[in-house]
Structure 1
Amino acid sequence: MGGYLTQDRAPILEALERMKRARLVPFDVPGHKRGRGNPELREFLGEKCLDVDVNSMKMLDNLCHPVSVIRDAEKLAAEAFGAAHAFFMVGGTTSAVQAMVLTAVGRGDKIIMPRNVHRSAINALILCGAVPVYVNPQMDHTLGISLGMRVEEVKDAIRRHPDAKAVLVNNPTYYGICSNLREIVRLAHEHGMMVLADEAHGTHFYFNDKLPVSAMAAGADMASISMHKSGGSLTQSSMLLCGPNVNAGYVHQVINITQTTSGSYLLLSSLDISRRNLALHGQEIFDKVIRLVEYARDEINAIGDYYAYSRELINGDSVYDFDTTKLSIFTRPTGLAGIEVYDLLRDEYDIQTEFGDIANLLAYVSVGDRPKDIERLVAALAEIRRNYRKDSSKMLKAEYIEPEVVYGPQEAFYAEKESLPIESTAGRVCSEFVMCYPPGIPILAPGERITDEILTYIRYARKKGCQMTGPEDMTIARLNVVK
């Protein structure tokens, strides 16, 4: 097949279709045997779905050691994304981020990263014992959002920690903010450091020339891609991309430490089909998304009080570029936190947005959205403003709280600990996570000192309805602290 690999092919899909035509009698797992053993599941998910929920076999290759159709699908993905190698990931972008970090650093190594990383990056440090060097993100004090990494601050971190092994960049952030990735890559490489990009929200950058530069085009060594977000594949399916100077064989060994040996062919085929769709039609798909979001922004900004922001935020540094497919909306002038608008949209208008924080709302617009859906969202936002608007003067402004890192994440997580009522923890060192999910950026991470300011923020976020996750005590009434 190798000589005939073109972007209109989908090797995993084709192999599954050949398997179905073979009418194999299954004496292997999964035990539902094409759904016959679980009629209720077959009724719910459908015959076509369960017919291809199969185990690895010779004709379908093996995700742990791909030598045929999965290898070919990964080759096509690497070509489509401009990477030297692509790995299909069935544990979500969490597994891709962790594989990047575990490849780049080991016990005691330093890694430069922004503090507003996804929890998966800090979890990787718990696993490998590396130590973070945080570049504290700039804040937009009006919007209350973290911005990108300033080049000067990355340069300063490299100067202070010349022995760091890698730099990790969020690009773009959940809100659409992009850093000067090319310059950060140049700086890091000049000092012998790898660059890892958490590109969970940037799949579309690879397929449209109106969008910010992609990590691979900027020269990053590795990038984690959430195909299931803007790429259209099934939830939990992602990719890990590698540049030419990365030992792909070693990366594969690292992936196999934590990734399942029973890769789902539903997820794998969705990656294969979605890659083909984006490679063939990505430019027009994301042209349409950009137009939809631009229209939505104009309509929302005409309502009053709301502010749907875009490229006007660009300042050439901490906001080097902006992802115009992101419909991020500042809600605080209405007197409502983003999470309150999020709850009202879901409970009163049957509209499910991506997330709300204490000042912003994110509506995720992608290939599957229609103009009439945008109209419904705009009408609901206008009605919420009319019916629920309040005085905004007493609302808490979102500020970046610079953490005091007392221990590395691994040391704190595995340290002897005690459980205290949360209100009694000020001054102690946290040994677990506290975060609002989504977006899954920790308010507290293992090894950081708990302060009155942080506790005030947690109380306020809970009161406004943010979904707090992380601690062992799921009621968030108690926290584990280092003894």
Structure 2
Amino acid sequence: MQQLATTQQKAPLYEALMHFKKQRIVPFDVPGHKRGRGNPELAAFLGEDALAVDVNSMKPLDNLCHPVSVIKEAEEVAAQAFGANEAFFMVGGTTSAVQAMVFSTTKQGDEIILPRNVHRSVLNALVLNGAIPVYVNPEANDELGIALGMSITQVQRAIEEHPNAKAVFVNNPTYYGICSDLKGIVDVAHKAGMKVLADEAHGTHFYFGKDMPISAMAAGADMAAVSMHKSGGSLTQSSFLLMGPGMNADYVRQVVNLTQTTSASYLLMASLDLSRRNLALNGHDIFQQVVDYTNYVRDELHAIGGYYVFGNDLINGDSVYDLDPTKLSIHTLNVGLAGIEVYDILRDDYDIQIEFGDLGNILAYISVGDRERDIERLVGALADIKRRFERSKKGMLTQEYLEPVVAISPQQAFYAQKELLPLHEAIGRICGEFVMCYPPGIPILGPGEVVTEAVVTYIAYAKEKGCQLTGTEDLQVEKLNVVKEGV
């Protein structure tokens, strides 16, 4: 244990950058701003200290595409912190880590078992490599309007019906903090010879907090994509790709290098190095504070009434096997407001920016950087919103999860000849693009799925309530690209 703590005090890449900075090397390489001198406005905006280490790969600082020195050491220290066999720095966000997991385990025509409420990055990967999704439609909580986790029974059935599938993909947790029985899914999948891939974009703290839901590496998953920048404190776009003992890390790095930049940002990588060190040394205390803040808000809103904060009462041992105790997911419909309406009011009237609002819920992201006075301000604003805006919820749409009708593969649909039709004329046709509310970026409709009347009604209602719809060629989302018939 002492040796582990000593190792985690290191920040190899950060330390190498600081040594390099002291050397005052004269730059005749890229980037062209030359430590900020070539762009004084940018230097004033970001600071000279930041631009002094916005450098290119070189021998003393290693190379992310083929690390042999300080980046390699930093990744080894990170792997130890996460309990993984290998850890890769990812500078293309968790999107690139998720896609690397899919590309490493499947190819064109291979089946992959996954819940439909995955992030668009997963379906984007299927568009690119031609793997075939086998959807495990999660149970839904109709009162809250959210999809839950995958049940073991559903996963077992999917495996039995698709014994040649290569992998099972799991959200750990979902955006709302819902956890499936990950260990149980790993056991079932491995028995069938399938890999398990975990999207832990919102699960960094599972590795560093105390009494958290099980992490992917602890559960024996083969790969996990971890958004260090979300709850862990690193810079936006920086993430980790973790691997268990069943993966060939050298091959995975080749896959990563197919799409990841050859000009990796040392600012992003150093932020991963420092954030990992901070969480490895202080994570228990940091995330206990986060849990305490979340519980405080839950108690306060319970006393205020109207709002419901997701809690352990949702746990059923199956589709809600566990719940992320840091997640401040709040159901708003009982005060007569859609989540997106509360989202807008908080920003416009109270100068509070929360993570997202959907048709019935909001998520206020509490993490390593929050302060007590900010928590109090959020509670006060929500109490005031209830007082000012509370109304009947009659006529409000509550259902969030729409079960897809899959006709053809995402790749086949995305690259097919298409035509642009008004929403209502598209009903019954096969969609050739994505439609999603962002955040969270979970598709309402994906390529290869049938456009139903329920989907069109949902899209129209989401637009009316002010949700930010993305993914379509038509930026106004008044028309949809559908696959041409008879071609």
Normalised by the shorter chain, which TM-score bucket? over 0.9
Task: Please state if 1:262 is matched with 2:263.
Answer: yes
SS in 2 for 1:217: helix
- 2:6 and 2:361 mapped to 1: Cα distance? 44
1:286-308 superposed Cα distances (whole Å, 9 cap, x missing partner): 11111111111111121111011
Structure 1 residue ranges without an equivalent (≥5): none
The two structures, once aligned, show a CA RMSD in angstroms of: 1.2
- 1:79 and 1:30 mapped to 2: Cα distance? 33
Q: How much has 1:241 moved relative to structure 2?
A: 0.1
Aligned runs of 1:69-80 on 2, under 5 Å? 69-80=70-81
1:310-338 superposed Cα distances (whole Å, 9 cap, x missing partner): 11110000000000100000000011000
SS in 1 for 2:271: helix
Correspondence for 2:290: 289
Any conservation in 2 of the 1:5–1:76 contact (CA below 8 Å)?
Answer: no
Correspondence for 2:159: 158
Correspondence for 1:279: 280
- 1:211 and 1:459 mapped to 2: Cα distance? 38
Any conservation in 1 of the 2:210–2:287 contact (CA below 8 Å)?
Answer: no
Q: How much has 1:386 moved relative to structure 2?
A: 0.7
Correspondence for 1:218: 219
- 1:389 and 1:311 mapped to 2: Cα distance? 26
Any conservation in 2 of the 1:340–1:356 contact (CA below 8 Å)?
Answer: yes
Indicate the larger mover: 299-308 or 150-159.
Answer: 299-308
Q: How much has 1:437 moved relative to structure 2?
A: 0.1
Correspondence for 1:32: 33
Task: Please state if 1:324 is matched with 2:325.
Answer: yes
Amino acid at match of 1:200: A
Correspondence for 1:207: 208
Q: How much has 1:212 moved relative to structure 2?
A: 0.3
Aligned runs of 1:161-240 on 2, under 5 Å? 161-240=162-241
1:137-172 superposed Cα distances (whole Å, 9 cap, x missing partner): 111111111100000000000010001000000010
Indicate the larger mover: 285-294 or 218-227.
Answer: 285-294
Aligned runs of 1:261-410 on 2, under 5 Å? 261-410=262-411
- 2:198 and 2:170 mapped to 1: Cα distance? 5
SS in 2 for 1:216: helix
Q: How much has 1:399 moved relative to structure 2?
A: 4.4
Any conservation in 2 of the 1:5–1:72 contact (CA below 8 Å)?
Answer: no
- 1:466 and 1:218 mapped to 2: Cα distance? 36
Any conservation in 2 of the 1:237–1:267 contact (CA below 8 Å)?
Answer: yes
Correspondence for 1:434: 435
Correspondence for 2:448: 447
SS in 2 for 1:291: helix
Moved segments of 4+, more than 2 Å: none
| Count of residues in correspondence between the two structures | 482
Q: How much has 1:423 moved relative to structure 2?
A: 2.3
Amino acid at match of 1:479: L
- 1:5 and 1:239 mapped to 2: Cα distance? 21
Any conservation in 1 of the 2:8–2:77 contact (CA below 8 Å)?
Answer: yes
Percent identical among aligned pairs is 67
Any conservation in 2 of the 1:80–1:275 contact (CA below 8 Å)?
Answer: yes
Amino acid at match of 2:460: R
- 2:218 and 2:332 mapped to 1: Cα distance? 35
- 1:4 and 1:136 mapped to 2: Cα distance? 42
SS in 2 for 1:132: strand
Amino acid at match of 2:156: K
Any conservation in 1 of the 2:217–2:224 contact (CA below 8 Å)?
Answer: yes
Correspondence for 1:116: 117
Amino acid at match of 1:247: N
1:29-73 superposed Cα distances (whole Å, 9 cap, x missing partner): 000000000000000000111001100011000000000000000
Amino acid at match of 1:273: L
Q: How much has 1:479 moved relative to structure 2?
A: 1.1
Correspondence for 2:480: 479
CA 1:4–1:140: 2 relative to 1, 3 Å: closer
Q: How much has 1:398 moved relative to structure 2?
A: 1.3
Q: How much has 1:96 moved relative to structure 2?
A: 0.3
- 1:283 and 1:324 mapped to 2: Cα distance? 13
Any conservation in 1 of the 2:94–2:238 contact (CA below 8 Å)?
Answer: yes
SS in 2 for 1:97: helix
- 2:269 and 2:310 mapped to 1: Cα distance? 36
Any conservation in 2 of the 1:212–1:323 contact (CA below 8 Å)?
Answer: yes
- 2:424 and 2:95 mapped to 1: Cα distance? 31
Give the TM-score normalised by the residue count of structure 1.
Answer: 0.99
- 1:205 and 1:5 mapped to 2: Cα distance? 21
Any conservation in 2 of the 1:150–1:179 contact (CA below 8 Å)?
Answer: yes
Correspondence for 1:67: 68
Any conservation in 2 of the 1:114–1:169 contact (CA below 8 Å)?
Answer: yes
Give the TM-score normalised by the residue count of structure 2.
Answer: 0.98
SS in 1 for 2:7: coil
- 2:426 and 2:99 mapped to 1: Cα distance? 30
SS in 1 for 2:217: coil
SS in 1 for 2:480: strand
SS in 1 for 2:216: coil
Q: How much has 1:4 moved relative to structure 2?
A: 12
1:397-436 superposed Cα distances (whole Å, 9 cap, x missing partner): 2142211111101110001111112221001100000000
Correspondence for 1:96: 97
Any conservation in 1 of the 2:152–2:184 contact (CA below 8 Å)?
Answer: yes
- 2:281 and 2:400 mapped to 1: Cα distance? 43
1:372-399 superposed Cα distances (whole Å, 9 cap, x missing partner): 1111001100111111111101101214
Correspondence for 2:88: 87
